[in-house]
Amino acid sequence: MQNTDKPGGDEKLTNGNGNNLILPKSLSIIYSDVKREYFPTEAQYITEKDAKKNAEAVGSYVEKLGVKVRLIPANVDLPQHLRQDKPEMVMNLVDSVRGNEYLSSTIPALLEFLQIPYTGTSVYGMSLCFNKFLTKKVFEQNGIPVPRYQLFNTATDLLEPTLRFPLISKLNEIHGSVEITQEAVSETEKQLRDRLKYLISTYNQQVLVEEFVVGREISAYILEGVHKKIYLVENIFAESDNKYQFADFQMQWVDTESKITNQKFSDPLLKEYVRKAFDIARMSDYSKFDIRLDNSGRYYFIDSNANPFFGPPEIECPLTKTLEMYSISFPEILKRLINNTMREAHDI
């Protein structure tokens, strides 16, 4: 690969007849096998219902690189398809297996077992990603700032006296802003208990409760190429009657008119935090971190996503739209991911 002095200091891969870009002859894209009955609520289903369509959109761009593409749903027949097809590499776009996000870590495990190179984070990193409590613990132990938090197994667990309201409740094993609504923020213990009862009974999983950080919201994306590159944007919210401003489920999945605009953000300290968090969480290729910046200038990591939503700009992918702000096109993102995977597979 070659380094060029393009805006932002990003490396540019050669293409066409360039010898530094390594592409496979065949590539399989694995995506979530989505059925409504897999999900306890419509909200969670909404976050995955377009999995096949999104995979097709990615596949169309890969084919333009001259690579043969096959799309495979992540169901019980997946191992058989992989053994038969023997792809040179896999793009792993799976967010859940039978509606369970924590089972998505079985996909890289299967690919490791079959010795097929793949994009995205490995088994360890994916397993950690889908346990928000453990991620907080790992970050906390390694100097990554996080809000004070507590894991609830039942709605009647004793509340840690160090926690201060307002508190926000999050499903411990589900991403995609599912149940991240204005009702997720509690100002009293009664509101908190009611929220915990609803979440635990509906989703049958633990709930992470943390102090809500009032302030600005920043998204950090990291993309591996020759080097790890970090891209920061601040989320700017349109005026509303909401007491608490944050990127909630409604804004991200329901509203046809976006209530969020983005602008570039820069701080070397935050970039170092992000780089460290990426390594500590054992992430690979690409990831996203959500951060709050309080009025005293302190950062707090509130969420982390290995293998976040991925696709071309026409399917409204936040990662792609952010990198476009930094003059990185989706075809270039694809080339980096595929090239990295192939180089690692061939130990180049």
Report the candidate in 22, 5, 24, 21 with the shortest Cα–Cα distance to residue 13: 21
Listed in sequence order, the residues at least 6 apart from 115 whose beta carbon sits closer than 8 Å to its beta carbon are: none
Parallel/antiparallel/unpaired status of strands 26-32 and 89-93:
parallel
Query: What is the DSSP code string of 56-105?
Result: HHHHHHHHTTT-EEEEEEESTTHHHHHHHH--SEEEEE---BTTBGGGGG
**What CATH class has 132-306?**
alpha beta
pLDDT recorded at residue 239 = 82
- pTM, whole model, 2 decimals? 0.92
pLDDT recorded at residue 249 = 92
pLDDT recorded at residue 13 = 53
Instruction: Determine the straight-line distance between the first and last CA of the chain, rounded to whole angstroms.
Output: 11
Count H helices, E strands: the chain?
11, 12
Q: From first to last of its 348 residues, what are the pLDDT tens digits of the chain?
A: 223 333 344 444 554 434 578 999 999 999 999 999 999 999 999 999 999 999 999 999 999 999 999 999 999 999 999 999 999 999 999 999 999 999 999 999 999 999 999 999 999 999 999 999 999 999 999 999 999 999 999 999 999 999 999 999 999 999 999 999 999 999 999 999 999 999 999 999 999 999 999 999 999 999 997 788 999 999 998 888 889 999 999 888 888 566 789 999 999 999 999 999 999 999 999 999 999 999 999 999 999 999 999 999 999 999 999 999 999 999 999 999 999 999 988 886
Domains of the chain, residue spans? 7-119, 132-306
pLDDT recorded at residue 132 = 98
pLDDT recorded at residue 8 = 40
* CATH architecture label of 7-119: 3-Layer(aba) Sandwich (3.40)
pLDDT recorded at residue 6 = 36
Report the candidate in 69, 83, 159, 151 with the shortest Cα–Cα distance to residue 116: 83
